[in-house]
Structure 1
Amino acid sequence: MPSYKLIYFNLEGRGEILRYLFSYSNIEFEDRRLEFADWPALKPSIPYGQLPVVEIDGVIFNQSLAIGRYLAKKAGLIGKNDLDEIRVDAIIDTIDDFFSKFPWMDTDKAKKEFMDKSGIQLLAYLEKTLGNNSWFVGDSVTWADFYWDTCADCFENYLPGFAKDYPKLLALQERVKAIPAIASWIKKRPKKTQ
């Protein structure tokens, strides 16, 4: 069985989807959490100088969504057929486009303005996509549901109540967090620094 090491900062961010996938799959992994002060010394040895990365049997792989797809396939979380898989990928990429543009390091006012301007479109799209279903794609959980939950938690940390007008999306988060392996991970995960 391969050995896995996730290297990321001591926060949820882009690493949390990978932690969810490892936990859901019951794959043991080393969760190496860096403090920001330690990053400059490690950065030159990391592909493209970006985190998170996952080391599999000593080989480093970068890009959280590429790693996520690999883990999701192993876990059977990509949908039941090719069309499901493209739907899952489209939802994840849509959420990630927004996540990447979010002004994380800007003022609270800028964050709120960005969410008010661009977030409404994303949230309305996701709420409509979910419709009256329990999950985004098909009749079972996929990693798109996990990705929404981990990203929504990040947004919530910066803008409490950002999705309060979207009850279906909030209920989806509750369903994800109620999955036994995810609930167990959330209960035992270390406290984040941000």
Structure 2
Amino acid sequence: MQGLILRLREVLLAGHMLPYKLIYFNMRGRAELSRYILAYAQIPFKDQRVEWKDWPFVKSSFPLEQLPVLEMEGCLLNQSLAIARFLAKEAGLAGKDRLEEAQADALVDSLNDFTLCIPWREEDQKLKKEKIDKLFDCHAPKLLSFLEKHLEDRDWLVGDAVTWADLYWHVCFTTFTVLRPGFARHHQGLCTLINRVESIPQLARWIQNRPVSEF
């Protein structure tokens, strides 16, 4: 799989083609997992970022008037996890067999469920803080225990190799840490996994060079 990816990249670079255009706002948000996967696989892509001031004028051209959207071969694919799952399979990050794929899916969905509970659009700042505190005090411990159960004493969350679930844990960890610094400090294995993901050279380069944003 990796050999095919490398050959694809060489052909595309030689022909000055980019197979994918990933369209999202100028932030990490719901596109960052797909960016991680593309960076990991070293697949060239156009990281097109839409500024908030321009969004009202262009949103009608996207499925369900939402982002992110992956453009490929004249097709627009929407839904962030559908995009990431497709790319994970392309990059060999979905799992080695059907069981591993299902386990990785379950971990990604569990992380995503927690992310969706964050009151991003709550305008009352006091109420927003109360909701975030409750989320991290009551629900984060269950999520962390669930992740630790899968990790056990292995290097990766699923099987013996990195999957998109490990990458999504890093994406979520980065965001959760902004909201609650040190939220996972008592889970050494999960913190070590963060360092392990960051030690992957192509991901380290992406993290170092990506545009800076709070979320």
TM-score range, shorter chain: over 0.9
Distance 1:13 1:167 in 2: 25
Of 191, 208, 213, the match for 1:170: 191
Of 131, 134, 144, the match for 1:123: 144
1:149 and 2:149 equivalent? no
Distance 2:45 2:147 in 1: 31
Distance 1:169 1:48 in 2: 36
Distance 2:214 2:135 in 1: 24
Instruction: Summarize the alignment of residues 173-184 of structure 1 with structure 2, pairs less than 5 Å apart.
Output: 173-184=194-205
What SS class does the counterpart of residue 162 from structure 2 fall into? Answer: coil
Distance 1:163 1:193 in 2: 19
Residue aligning to 2:181: 160
Of 101, 104, 122, the match for 2:117: 101
Q: Normalised by the size of structure 1, how large is the TM-score?
A: 0.94
What SS class does the counterpart of residue 140 from structure 2 fall into? Answer: helix
Distance 1:179 1:122 in 2: 25
Question: In the alignment, residue 208 of structure 2 is paired with which amino acid?
Answer: K
Of 28, 33, 42, the match for 2:44: 28
Q: Which segments of 5 or more consecutive residues in structure 1 lack a partner in the other structure?
A: none
Of 100, 121, 146, the match for 1:84: 100
Deviation at 1:58, TM superposition (A): 3.0
1:133 and 2:158 equivalent? no
Cα RMSD for the two superposed structures: 1.4
1:67 and 2:83 equivalent? yes
Deviation at 1:105, TM superposition (A): 3.4
Residue aligning to 1:190: 211
Question: In the alignment, residue 157 of structure 1 is paired with which amino acid?
Answer: V
Deviation at 1:114, TM superposition (A): 1.3
Larger Rg: 2
Question: In the alignment, residue 51 of structure 2 is paired with which amino acid?
Answer: E
Q: Normalised by the size of structure 2, how large is the TM-score?
A: 0.85
Question: In the alignment, residue 41 of structure 1 is paired with which amino acid?
Answer: F
What SS class does the counterpart of residue 24 from structure 2 fall into? Answer: strand
> Percent same amino acid among aligned pairs?
46
What SS class does the counterpart of residue 139 from structure 1 fall into? Answer: coil
Distance 2:170 2:63 in 1: 27
Deviation at 1:175, TM superposition (A): 0.6
Deviation at 1:110, TM superposition (A): 2.0
Distance 2:40 2:106 in 1: 22
Residue aligning to 1:15: 31
Deviation at 1:193, TM superposition (A): 5.6
Q: Which segments of 5 or more consecutive residues in structure 2 lack a partner in the other structure?
A: 1-11, 13-17, 123-127
Contact 1:13–1:151 (CA<8 Å) still a contact in 2?
no
